[in-house]
Amino acid sequence: MHTQKKNQQGEISSLVERVKSGDRESFMTLTRLYQRKVFQLAYSYFRNKEDALDIVQETFLRFYQKAHMFQKGKNFQNWLLQLAKNICIDYYRKHHKRDNELRREENIEEVNQTSHESSHHDPSSDLKEIFSRCLVKLSDKQRMIFVMKHYNHLHYSEIAQILNIALGTVKSLHFKAVRNLRTRMSPYMGRMG
Amino acid sequence: MKDCKKTNRNLVAFLYGELNEFDKKQVEAHLKTCQKCKAELLELKVVYETADSLNADMEKAIESVDWENFPTRIADGVFDQKPTRVRRPRRAGLRPFLLQPRFRLAYAGLLLGIIVGAVVTFLIFRSSPLQVGEDGRIVVPHGFYDKMELEMARRETIDYLDSSEYLLLDFVQSSPEKSVEFWQSDYASRRAIELLSKKKYIDQQLDNIKLVKAKAICDQIELLFFELMQISDELSVEELKKIQRLIQERQLLLKIKLVRKELQKSEV
């Protein structure tokens, strides 16, 4: 199992080496292998398909530009997700932060009221909407860690490597993220869940 | 209570299956007996399940993308660019070093210094005593020359006191037996003559009312040098000892120091 993983890593490294010298096929192979992983991260961060596809495209473009910085023997997936994470945060700050600041003023209670007024009332979809809004309100780091843990199913150690922070910090931020979501959502749990 | 705190801290990791066997068993055992922690876990589970329910949307979004052709699209975008788009690693030069955030404070201090310096220079030039008259000639305000003279006198007097102090120190510190030789030496006689002639030069300036104290002490020094130069050959060792003692008793050196300090502070 360990040897298989090592061989796989070796293959990935040699593909990256070829990309460095401008090999299109190797670039496409790597894109094919990791595009879904990057999409998952971006989609769960933005909850929007178009934004997520923009991120995937930008991530692979950035990978091509920075391929010379990839060190042999390092985990390529973690390195690529690190690029994707940075792009997500920049993209969010550039395109969405202002919208969300405006939405921040909008009370979550409004979701509740609007849904009760509508004739097709689905409590679980309300909770989903409230969850999405609460997720956006977390700090950049807490949100990214939650997304990586919950949707990308990464281990704490992998997240620590991608975000370049201590393992203990990842654990503590993930704990805080889930607790913050629970605190924000708890008034609506009884009513909707 | 202590168990509750510990379990609470581990509940999220427990939910995500990140606990080791030992911690997992401890949490499970605690949950069997504690209703409060159980309720907490249930709420966390709602968060977990709601987050999970969004997975379906994500799966739908993933399915709707044409992943087969997507790499070609990306590669077209990447490889059709001009080669200059590919960045080369930056050479580590002085620029990145100087742009480090830790130098921010130093740069702020430097900038502040420049601003303060500019303001002070502006104020000095603005309040300059020299003004240009209507006909283009420089007009010197009333009292400017007096001030200038006073300032020159002050500086000359300080200089005079400095030199006198050194010479007197040499005299006081030398043994009475050697003090005759001292006053007969080239060095002492040359210095004393210099100081006596300097005193004549600053005499006119010392008449200024603001330098009265300085004048008194300079007169004393002058008299002393004069006497020593004139009669040191005829003085006995005992008499020279007496003069040395007199200088010390009258605290002439201390007075010189005090007057000099006062003069230094009273810059015009």
Of the residues B64, B88, B112, the one at which a domain ends: B88
Q: Which of A15, A181, A186, A192 best tests the B interface by mutation, with the highest count of B CBs <10 A?
A: A181
The answer as to whether B179 is a domain residue is: yes
Of the residues A67, A95, A123, the one at which a domain ends: A95
Residue B130 corresponds to which amino acid? Answer: L
The answer as to whether B247 is a domain residue is: yes
Condensed to tens digits (0 to 9), the pLDDT of residues B4-62 reads: 888 888 899 898 888 889 999 999 999 999 999 999 899 899 899 899 888 888 888 89
Which residue of chain B comes nearest to A47, CA vs CA? B58
Q: Taking a C-beta distance cutoff of 8 angstroms, is the pair A174, A148 a contact?
A: no
Residue A16 structural domain: 1-95
Classify residue A73 as left (phi > 0), alpha (psi -120 to 50) or beta. left
* Tally of structural domains, chain A: 2
How far apart, in whole angstroms, are the C-alpha atoms of residue B36 and residue B7? 11
pLDDT class for B262, splitting at 50, 70, 90? confident
Using an 8 Å CB-CB cutoff, list chain A residues near B86: 64-65
Average pLDDT, integer, range A123-142: 83
**Predicted TM-score of the model (pTM):** 0.53
> Which has more pLDDT, A86 or B184?
A86
Residue B59 structural domain: 1-88
Does one domain contain both B72 and B166?
A: no
The reply to whether A188 touches chain B by the CB within 8 Å rule is no
> Which has more pLDDT, B25 or A115?
B25
Q: Which of A39, A47, A178 sits opposite B47 (nearest CB)?
A: A178
The reply to whether A84 touches chain B by the CB within 8 Å rule is no
Q: Do B78 and A35 count as a contact with CB atoms less than 8 A apart?
A: no
Distance from the B73 Cα atom to the nearest Cα atom in chain A, whole angstroms? 9
Average pLDDT, integer, range A169-177: 92
Share of chain A above pLDDT 90, in %: 39
Q: Which of A24, A49, A185 sits opposite B47 (nearest CB)?
A: A185
Which residue of chain A comes nearest to B43, CA vs CA? A182
Condensed to tens digits (0 to 9), the pLDDT of residues B148-157 reads: 777 888 888 8
Q: Which of A31, A128, A182 sits opposite B71 (nearest CB)?
A: A31
